[in-house]
Amino acid sequence: MIRGARALIAAALISSAAACGGGAATASPEQALASFARALREGDASRAYALTSEGYRRRVREEDFARWMRESPDEIRALAEALERPAGPAEQEATVAIEGEDPVRFVRDPSGWRVASDVVDYYGQHTPRQALRSFVRAIGRRRWDVVLRLVPAADAEGMSEETLRARWEGESREEIERLAAGLRAALDGGAPIEERGDHAVMPWGERYRAQLVREDGVWKIEDPD
C-alpha cells in the first residue's frame, strides 16, 4: 500500500471517533475506535467505511478504501491490533467558529464540555496569531497602550501612546484602518503562519507579510506589512 493510502485509512479512525455516519453511530470515541478496529481486523471494508465521517467519505471513495484494505491485509491487521490497544482515554475536542474572532475551542471532561480557549485574554500574545488578533483589536478600539505593548523593545524607543494617537488617528488613519482590515480578513480566513524559533511570518493580501518576533516569552509585531 502506498504511504498516502495507508495514512488515509489511519486518518479514518479519527473521523470515526469524532463523527460516525452511515447508520453506524456509536456512543463514545472509545466505542467507535473499537468498532472500527474490529471491522478492519475482520476485513469488513463496508462496515469500516460506514464508521467514517461524512467529510472523510467525501474525500475517499468506498471502492478505494476497500482496495487499500485488500492490497495490504497484513498491514491492516497490524493497524487493527494497534487500534485495539489505545494508549489512554480519548480526548474530545470541538471548535466553534465566531464571526470576527478566533474560533473557540472546547474540551470534554467528565463533567461535560468546557471552554479551553483564552477568550478573556483579549489582548493576548501567547501565539503569533493571538498577537496579530490583539493588534487588530487594539487598533479598532484605539488602545494605543496595547499597540505599544505589541511593538518590540528596540522599535518602541521614542514611541508613546500620545505619538501613536496623534499619527494613527490623524494623517495615517485611513492607512492604518486599511492595514487592520487586511489583517483581520487574513486572520478570519485562516491564513497560515510559519514559525521558526523566535520568528514568525503570516503572508496576507497579494504581497504583504506580517513579521513577528518572540521577546521575553511573548510575541510582538516587527512589521505588520
The string of pLDDT tens digits covering residues 180-211 is 999 999 988 888 999 999 999 999 888 889 99
Task: Based on the fold, state whether residues 51 and 99 are members of the same structural domain.
Answer: no
Q: What is the pLDDT of residue 221?
A: 93
**Strands ordered across the beta sheet of 218-223:** 194-196, 199-204, 208-215, 218-223
pLDDT value of position 14: 46
C-alpha cell at 77: 491487521
CA pair distance 119, 115, nearest whole angstrom = 8
Do 175 and 200 lie in one domain? The reply is yes
53 and 99 inside one domain: no
Q: How far apart are CA 183 and CA 173, in angstroms?
A: 15
Closest by CA position to 81, among listed 33, 129, 116: 33
pLDDT score of 194: 93
Same domain as 104, residue 152 = no
Q: 72 and 139: one domain?
A: no
Low-confidence ranges of the chain (pLDDT < 50): 1-11, 13-24
